[in-house]
Structure 1
């Protein structure tokens, strides 16, 4: 009885500590409008922003910055900064180009080492960031990025990998550390120049394979003002907002049957959906999108959004609703008022690359992150060259209520910027491990991190 009382007391103490920490965060004012457009100096865990379409300034072609970050070595013992009660442990370092990371049903971590043209696997020691085993699952790929297990669930038979120009799949059984056979090509002839990061995801029922294909340019300057055969015929025969010429079949999300057949367009006008996932609570497909450059420091906003069937998100003619890109002024009046507004806007030129929802439904009540995080999403911001006052280079948390986004997002994992001119880390991939830890990759110094919450628990 005494032991049980002591455990209950420890649980209550942990709850009080967590509640106090979240109350302190909630007391911080939400940065809105121009106040939300600060740079890296204002970034720290708990800083919360809300950007609305009406907050965006007018585009200014004359004030587009070129401000690429210098890359420094990771300072000795440097760790990312996290909210109170959280800690980060290093899983691995010195990887060529760790990008997307996905959790296999058995808990193994699959990492796309894109520039090395391989997929790595890490099996962690239970409750630790220390790899018990690691392996190269497959090599001789072509800038692999997206990874998905099929069928969805606990017993996959295949692991799909999105190369820059194709989707392939490998026969797979839980626990495989190396591919047992050569890959089978499922989708080929994907255009691969310029934006090459191809992400993939399966619908919850396993019937649909989604593929994101980024644009082949910044703002479609060489696409031509009219498609061959005339604009009117194009509009009648293609999805709303479909681009043509060198951009045909790009800046969109496509769908296929699991065998690669029955290809179709889900949504258009998504300049570069570099990260996709399915929201566990609703089954909705979500994208994080890198918007266009050269319109000024704070325009247009980057965004995360549910991807609605048949929707058009603006690129290249419009952005964030009915805002016309001045480089395409007057070209598509037929699309005015038909642009879907994304769900969550983020600071321009933050370069969101991946998204993961924190579900936690299979975790014990006292495991993983605090309950306040369950249902929210994490987004990795890689940072961009096109902003005078640097931003990005962090992981943020998108806030949801009853399965719906509030529009607010919060700094969660910062500390990758060394100075105004240098960074040591550029976050790319996020996934939730089977034990509830958050796994983050960054390709500046080629590291992988495991983020856990203690918050007084022991």
Structure 2
């Protein structure tokens, strides 16, 4: 009898393993249909492009997050908020079911998402709105203003983002800077360019830190510390990761906050890509290829370079001395990512924004989409600690010649190569890490093709007929601080202005090096590429 039981038990286990194997093989076959060969993974991950062909039209998604019911929610730049659904139960989401639209409430730019219980909170250009689905039909049927103590701005870059709830049940959010807005947004509480802590009932707000620029992602570490990513520019020397220290200033728009003390330094300067967007800590219970507790970061990449972008992860550890060590590793190269989140199955989801105009608004009927990164230990892929980077070798004579040409062509007059005084153009420190040789050449020859936000030129005609051309570095209700060619900053009172014009062209001359001999052009490019 015992022998028969052992045989039956063995047979049952064999059939069970066979069933599991067949199920796994079927799942792998499903995955293979949607794997994107153009995306590159740096580890045992399958990168799947979700076939969202039903429901809401995907149009420049700017937000993706886990939400009520374990669903993945996303937001179009147009204002639609929707759930990603798996209509045929094959493990791959293929439908976008409309949950609500902030446009129905007269709101714009849904750049922040957080949820508490069954209620979803959306940060927009105007306020934070709350939505809930009371009858559980997948669509919000009740909504209200949760927080509105921020005066509305019509500037498309000014919105509330990075929303996340803390263990204290308070909502934390970032209000994008107003330093690039020539209209000078009303801001009596100094909220713009700051991180806020909003009470659970939405009736009170505390300004925790100032000097932020474009914080699109914030996330709490398992130990309770809040981390946030910010973009390079105007006081921010790098693409940076910061740890929130209440009361500190983080480097951007110092004049507005009238601060003279030292700036809180970032805990990490990102090296993988430019323009960090969404960030999220992986759960300590989700292995995902040995990354439990690590921070994952989505990168949009530089402006209209449509093939740039990716995902990195950051491992944060504390030494015996108490010092915090951070290490950055690549996860994937995927273009134009606006956000990421982990799903209930432990997979990583990412939103790709797609093609848009200068203000990130839709210019195509359907653009962007979603990726799902599935950890697969069966993949015969060796996890790489860093991407393979072409090692350039430049002769000392070429570098010396290039450095001389950098001065002769007057590049140094507008671009710094080290930390220090802010100049008319963006800093070139670390340029070789951020841009390829081809991209550097293209930027020199056609500088107006892609202009970094806040770097556009401004032409001001005064009432006395004088014309000023430069870049606005600060603005308030009374005046502009205009940096002229030559890096001189002048104050221009609004009452003295007859005509104010934003320039559609770069302040840099086109084809600056087109008349240089080819050998000289190559030496200059060698020097610029060597700026690591």
TM-score scaled by length of structure 1: 0.63
Which position in structure 2 is the counterpart of 1:353?
A: 277
Return the match for 1:454 from 361, 376, 399.
376
Partner SS for 1:273: coil
Residue 160 of structure 2 corresponds to: 198
Query: Is the contact between residue 216 and residue 246 of structure 1 (CA under 8 Å) also seen in structure 2?
Result: no
Task: Compute the TM-score of the two structures, normalised by the length of structure 2.
Answer: 0.55
Match of 2:61 in 1: 98
2:46 pairs with 1:87: yes
1:342 to 266, 273, 279: 266
Q: Name which of structure 1's ranges 102-111 and 425-434 shifts more when overlaid on structure 2.
A: 102-111
Aligned to 1:397: 313
**Which deviations, in whole Å up to 9, do the C-alpha atoms of 1:198-217 show, x marking residues without a partner?**
221111231x1112111113
- Per the TM alignment, residue 246 of structure 1 is displaced from its structure 2 partner at its CA by 9.0
- Larger Rg, first or second structure (1 or 2): 2
> 1:201 is paired with a residue of what secondary structure?
strand
Shift of residue 352 of structure 1? 0.7
Deviations, residues 309-358 of structure 1 (Å, cap 9, x unaligned): 111111124xxxxxxxxxx7xx999624x311111211498111110111
* 1:107 aligned residue: 70
CA contact (8 A) 2:347 2:372 kept: yes
Partners of 2:258 and 2:128 in 1: CA distance: 36
Asked if 1:161 corresponds to 2:107, the answer is: no
Residues 274 and 288 in structure 1, CA contact (< 8 A), matched pair in contact too:
yes
Q: Describe the shift of the 1:407–1:347 C-alpha distance in structure 2 as closer, same or farther (beyond 3 A).
A: same
Partner of 1:52: none
**Runs of at least 5 residues in structure 1 that lack an aligned partner in the other structure:** 11-75, 151-155, 224-242, 318-327, 417-424
Aligned to 1:61: none
- Match of 1:370? 289
Show structure 2 runs of 5+ residues with no match: 1-8, 21-34, 355-366, 381-532
Partner of 1:181: 142
1:344 and 1:405 in contact (8 A); partners too: no
How far 1:449 moved relative to its partner?
0.7
Q: 1:257 aligns with which of 174, 199, 212?
A: 199
Paired residues, number: 328
Task: Give the CA RMSD over aligned residues.
Answer: 3.7
Confirm or deny: 8 A CA contact 1:194 1:216 kept in the other structure. no
> Partners in 2 of 1:451 and 1:380 — Cα distance?
13
Q: CA deviation at 1:171?
A: 2.3
CA distance in 2: counterparts of 1:205 and 1:135, whole angstroms: 32
1:215-230 aligned at under 5 Å gives the runs: 215-218=177-180
Question: Contact 1:112–1:146 (CA<8 Å) still a contact in 2?
Answer: no
2-structure distance, mates of 1:305, 1:174? 41
Select which of 369, 377, 380 maps to 2:298: 380
Shift of 1:306: 1.9
1:118 correspondence with 2:40: no
Q: 1:288 aligns with which of 216, 219, 229?
A: 229
Q: 1:181 to 1:174 in 2, by over 3 A?
A: closer
Match in the other structure for 1:302: 239
**TM-aligned CA deviation for residue 411 of structure 1:** 1.6
What SS is found at the alignment partner of 1:99? Answer: strand
**C-alpha distance 165-221 of structure 1, shift in aligned 2 (>3 A):** closer
Determine if contact 1:355/1:379 at 8 Å carries over to the other structure.
Answer: yes
